[in-house]
Chains A and B, each alone.
Chain A
Amino acid sequence: MVKKYTSMAYANADELIFGNSKFPVKAGLGLEIGAGYTSPEVNYAPRPGAGASKEKLIKEYERITTDIMARMVQIGAPSVVLETEHVQQMSNNPSWGGAVAHAQKTIMEEYHDEYGIKCALRHTIGDIREDRDYLQLRGDKYSTFMEAFEEVANNGADLLAVESMGGKEVFDYSILRNDTAGILFGIGVLGSMDMEMVWSDIADVAKKTGTVASGDTDCAQANTAMFIAGGLLDKNLAHTTAIVARAISAARSLCAYEAGAVGPGKDCGYENSIIKSIAGVPITQEGKTSTCAHSDLMGNIVMQCCDLWSNESVEYHGEFGGTTVQCWSETLAYDCSMMNVALKTGKAKDLRDILVLSDKYRDPQGYVLAYDNAYKVGQAIAKDGENNYLRAKNAAIECCNIVEEGVNSGKLRLTRFETNALAKVKADLEALTDDADKFMSDNLTKFKQEVAVFKPENYGL
């Protein structure tokens, strides 16, 4: 059913570089992602009220698409990707999503035909598989969910993506209580199982429609941890705990590629550098250019090996310099121009390392995700690549080891809180069984009792 990764795509970490992937992806209108250049990927959200009807929503996305394409041509950008993250009306009503994809692609084709600009359209289906307080990962909602992929794929979307939510009900409970086993179970076991099901089906849709099954991201879990952790002075979650959740998420998000996805991984997958080291797929990242959506501590470092560079999301409205999508697509395009010049002049690795070092010692999250360390996490995952639980646990332990190395070098400094949280997580991990079946059995029992909204049948259990 799925082919598990048990080796690295790259011989060493130094091969990880922006704009280049071991396995580039052709998509859309003349675009080759990871084939030697970077491109902007612009993400946007409709204004409040724009979702009131199908017609209003289509018009909103027509405006957005035209604004981006016109600005790209106006400043001389050679390529661009547009990402439409579905509002729930579009995924719950697949024909709305299809109509939006058609309208957007029509405009993009006009610009491609007239100016030759290379472009592709990503549609990220909303994970609508819920029934109020419960996830409903299988059943009727699943059918609508998959129909949403078919509709957009048949009507203009080139790249298919989702931020799937499997395991989130256990994770949300566990991350707020420092429950290491729960974090591992929610992301690395339940999340992985759900991913394997979902992405096998998305890959089928892509094959059938001649589109690209691109990738997933652990937005529901690892990004939740990152957001709760916040900035340096925030007091909601230790950053050492957040980065362990992120390391585990790489083992989970890798499942998409094992089930048939080929990239690019989605922009808010901060785990993408780890995944690229294993799978060799192109990736999109967001960083300093996504401050319109959120603040984080990895603004430069995530550019290190991105193939597409993104703003995460911005609400569509006017700014002094134009609409938000005009402004942010322009900012992204100039960053890509800088990376592409570095590639052409043979200075790419220097630029990469400057970007990395500007954030590597800012926070333990950036420290672990720096490509030399991300590669080590990748190796830990590949070592037990056949088993979702073991590889996720390996990733978490390796993450702890890497942070400890950083502290021992004197360059990465932790607060007492971060130090204590790291020690707790590592002790918890080392106490866990190596028997995947036992871990599954123990945690099924535990979380059925502790988490009222956890339904094992969502995972076929």
Chain B
Amino acid sequence: MLDLKLEDIDGILVRYNVALEKEMTPDEAAEELYPKDELIYPVAKAIYEGEEDDVVDALQAAIDAGKKPIDLIDDALMVGMGVVTQLYDDGIIFLPNVMMSADAMLAGIDFCKSQTTEVPEPKGKVVCHVAEGDVHDIGKNIVAALLRANGYEVIDLGRDVPVDEVIAAVEKEKPMMLTGTALMTTTMYAFKEVNDKLLEKGIKLPFACGGGAVNQDFVSQYDLGVYGEEAADAPKIADAIVAGTTDITALREEFHKH
């Protein structure tokens, strides 16, 4: 068979990921971001490493040394998760790291809750769902994990969620944002129904939609739609809402790229 000479390959394609690779290793980059507090540092490091048992041990040590369990959620767990999301946004670490760190963070939150009667205050509440008739939920699972990793409480309705169940959940939970994912043209049509029924009930909240078949043009056709091209857009949209951008038009201005 034919083959290319080594020197000719570069003229045909560029492995930009190789060409642009940063010198610093992920562990080195993480080390620069860890908090200096000797009690918080082990928690953050264990979060980064995705080691649930180590997270719990480090939290126990911090509590034994006088730290309040409820404060450790924001001061240690979320700081550690902040390191992870920073490295992820910078392209230094990748999604499996984030997923395992999120699992470890959730284990840490559960542990902190079990050590106190105080209730932690999330940044906000988000309801997530996969469109009615659609069973493709890995995208929604990633969205939910990234939202939790960024400090949001997530009400995960699962997949193939009937429109009326979505409406009922929004009425009950009063979230700051609703997300929907769909992989097929015929299932994403349910998003327009969700939009219409929310408006009928006088509910106006940002409805962040994404998934394989969903595109910005479609999402822009209904009043509450905000298109998320990547799963990582979901926590950014949520952060924008918390920061004060609640108007749909303004959110579209910020997040619609095409």
A interface with B by C-beta (< 8 Å): 13-14, 45-51, 87-89, 130, 132-133, 165, 172, 175-178, 224, 227-228, 232-233, 235-238, 294, 315, 349-350, 353-354, 356-363, 372, 410-411, 413-418
Contact = CB atoms under 8 A, between A and B. Distances in A.
Given A45-B213, A48-B189, A235-B88, A176 B142 contact: yes
A45 B184 contact: yes
Contacts of A363: 15
Given A228-B95, A416-B21, A315 B185 contact: yes
B49 interface: no
8 nearest CB pairs, A to B? A236-B95, A353-B2, A48-B189, A87-B186, A51-B186, A232-B17, A178-B96, A133-B158
Contacts of A417: 94
A224 B95 contact: no
A415 B26 CA distance: 12
A411 B9 contact: yes
A294 to B, nearest CB: 7
B96 A315 contact: no
A130 B4 CA distance: 48
Nearest to B189: A48
Interface string B1-28: 1111010010011011110110001000
B107 interface: no
Given A48-B218, A235-B93, A177 B100 contact: yes
B163 to A, nearest CB: 14
Contact of B133 (A46, A88, A349, A418): A88
B9 A233 contact: no
Interface string B87-99: 0100101111001
Given A176-B138, A411-B6, A48 B16 contact: no
Contacts of B21: 415-416
Given A177-B100, A237-B94, A417-B94, A232 B16 contact: yes
B99 A176 contact: yes
A233 B91 CA distance: 8
Nearest to A417: B94
Interface string B169-204: 000000000000000111111001000000000000
Given A233-B17, A294-B212, A414-B18, A45 B138 contact: no
Q: Chain B CB within 10 Å — which of A48, A87, A88, A353 has the most? A: A48
Given A227-B212, A416-B21, A176 B141 contact: yes
Contacts of B189: 48-49, 51
Nearest to A44: B185
B159 interface: yes
A48 B186 contact: yes
Contacts of A359: 13
Nearest to A239: B17
B79 to A, nearest CB: 21
B160 A236 contact: no
B135 interface: yes
Contact of B186 (A89, A353, A418): A89
B193 to A, nearest CB: 10
Given A233-B17, A315-B185, A358 B141 contact: no
A172 B138 contact: yes
A48 B2 contact: no
Given A14-B1, A353-B2, A48 B15 contact: no
B137 interface: yes
Contacts of B186: 45-46, 48, 50-51, 87-89
Contacts of B212: 227, 294
B94 A238 contact: yes
Contacts of B3: 357
Contact of B137 (A172, A177, A354): A172
Contacts of A357: 2-4, 12
B225 to A, nearest CB: 13
